[in-house]
Amino acid sequence: MSTMTIPTSRIADILKKLGVHAENRGVSTGTHWMKGEGPALESHSPVDGALIGTVRGAGRAEYEQVIATARRGFEQWRTWPAPKRGEVVRQLGEELRRHKADLGKLVSYEMGKSYQEGLGEVQEMIDICDFAVGQSRQLHGLTMHSERPEHRMYEQWHPYGLVGVISAFNFPVAVWSWNAALAWVCGDVIIWKPSEKTPLCSIACQQITAEVFKRNEVPEGVSCIVNGGREVGEWLSNDPRIPLVSATGSTRMGKAVGAAVGQRLGRALLELGGNNAIIISDKADLNMALIGCVFGAVGTAGQRCTSTRRLIIHEKVYDVFKQKLLKAYAQLRIGDPLDERNHVGPLIDKAAVDLYLNALKEAKEEGAGIVVEGGVLSGAGYESGCFVRPAVVEVKPDMAIVQEETFAPILYLLRYSGDVQEAIAIQNHVKQGLSSAIMTLDLREAERFLSAAGSDCGIANVNIGTSGAEIGGAFGGEKETGGGRESGSDAWKTYMRRQTNTINYGASLPLAQGIKFEV
């Protein structure tokens, strides 16, 4: 009956502390775990290739049971006052604080990002819980003046109900929390389909959440996980009982989800690919710019949707900045991400390594110049075959490889010679529109970059890099990035339906627009 094997490895104690035991299964409605009849998902660490555990995914019967339980849970949960729901989320944030170190290590080991980045991801979960607590007392509508006497108009917001969340491997816990914390205070319930590449992180999150929910007598079905393969995502996308599906991943995946949800006139929140650029002006502080560029390019081994893919550098500082990059890349330490001395960990799996190698091959075939040679690392410490060297490549804007997002640490260098508008045009000349940045000390350049004629991305930064978004701002992008917004600002409205109300407190019934109707 066991659906998970726990190896005797350095991560075994952490799994036990997080409640990830052999009796755990891959499908849950809160405190209740089900034996999945779907495919077995093997979680291999990209750090050393070890099998961490095997999780049995959901079959159709378990999926239907989850949906039924979630619908019952929603009927109760929506009646709780929003501040009371917020109090539950506050306690979840406190519980995450207690488990931060262990969950951060699990994220690092199962996904491959550095331990510091794993801790940072859990901190994002804590931050969104804190944000959602305050938001639970501010789910406000508007009041409007009616054109009819003795009438009052206002709008209010109600929860949608079931919210499906499809998350990617690169942020195996944070993206779920961005959606879940806000959706919960809004009165929705969550059905989470985690990445099949990082299933253990989802089980740990569910165990932590279940403890908090149990103490507060939250109805079963408010927090559900449905591990599985592509078919589970298709079930969620095509299910008319789920009015909102939030999906994070590739543009290809997002188009499929968007089409399926749109076909049934549901709502989709899509956070898809990024092909992010930093403009390096000749008026930039080059030393400060270097930090943002290098971390943006190699952080999480280039597997962030906000990773820096392109540097658009003014010709006056091109050679100087390239030399700074060469020096910085020569100092990068690649290895075990749980060793805090290392800067770069592994790619998620060998399929990602193949994509990395193919991108470098295509770049060379198009005539690109290799500035920092890439390649797969081997030998002691690199036995998993997932460690690669961050590469730097000189390209031209119209090269085909530059138009695509390669989820790997490949940084493309482009040159511009004119004013900032030329650089902005190069930046915008891709299909994706997530994150962007300019490094400049010139106020006019900065403001032009942020203007309506500037960056066409959902995120536009000045003198910081493309990655590392804060919880308080709405996160998302335009064009093939999908157009969705998560996290801060008024993103909570995504998880609720708007209702306009008119109350007649007079003794007659005048019609709008002065229409006369006598009976």
Cβ atoms of 423 and 436 within 8 Å: the answer is: no
Q: What is the dihedral of CA 183, 121, 197, 271, to 10 degrees?
A: 50
404 an active-site residue? no
Q: How far apart are CA 126 and CA 96, in angstroms?
A: 6
| Helical residues (DSSP H) of 264-387, grouped into ranges | 286-298, 315-330, 350-365
Helix axes 251-263, 230-238, angle to 10 degrees: 30
- Of residues 110, 117, 124, 271, which has the active-site annotation? 271
| 405 among known catalytic residues | no
Residues 6 or more apart whose CB falls under 8 angstroms from that of 386 comprise: 46, 47, 49, 112, 346, 347, 348, 349, 350, 352, 353
Among 57, 48, 37, 60, which residue's Cα sits nearest to residue 9? 48
Element (H, E) at 466: none
CA distance 264 to 121: 34
> How many Å separate Cα 435 from the centre of its chain?
13
DSSP string, 172-216: TTHHHHHHHHHHHHHT-EEEEE--TT-HHHHHHHHHHHHHHHHHT
Question: What residue has token string 């970059």?
Answer: 449
**Nearest by Cα to 112 from 156, 172, 174:** 172
For 91-161, where are the E strands, in sequence order? 143-145, 151-159
C-alpha 48/C-alpha 183 separation (Å) is 37
C-beta of residue 324 within 8 angstroms of C-beta of residue 290: yes
Selected catalytic residue, list 293, 305, 386, 457: 305
Which residue, among 405, 363, 399, has the nearest Cα to 251 in the 3D structure?
Answer: 405
β-pairing, 151-159 vs 432-433, is: unpaired
The partner residues of 76 in beta bridges, in order of sequence, read: none
Q: Are 409 and 297 in contact (CB under 8 A)?
A: yes
- For residue 485, which phi and psi values (nearest 5 degrees)? -140, 130
d(CA 376, CA 356): 9
Please tell me the distance from the alpha carbon of residue 297 to that of residue 466, in angstroms, as a whole number.
9
Q: Are the C-beta atoms of 5 and 196 separated by less than 8 Å?
A: no
Four-residue CA torsion sign, 383, 386, 390, 392 = positive
Q: Looking up tokens 């999906």, which residue turns up?
A: 247
Helices (H) and strands (E) in the chain, counts: 14, 23
Give me the active site residues, please.
Answer: 271, 305
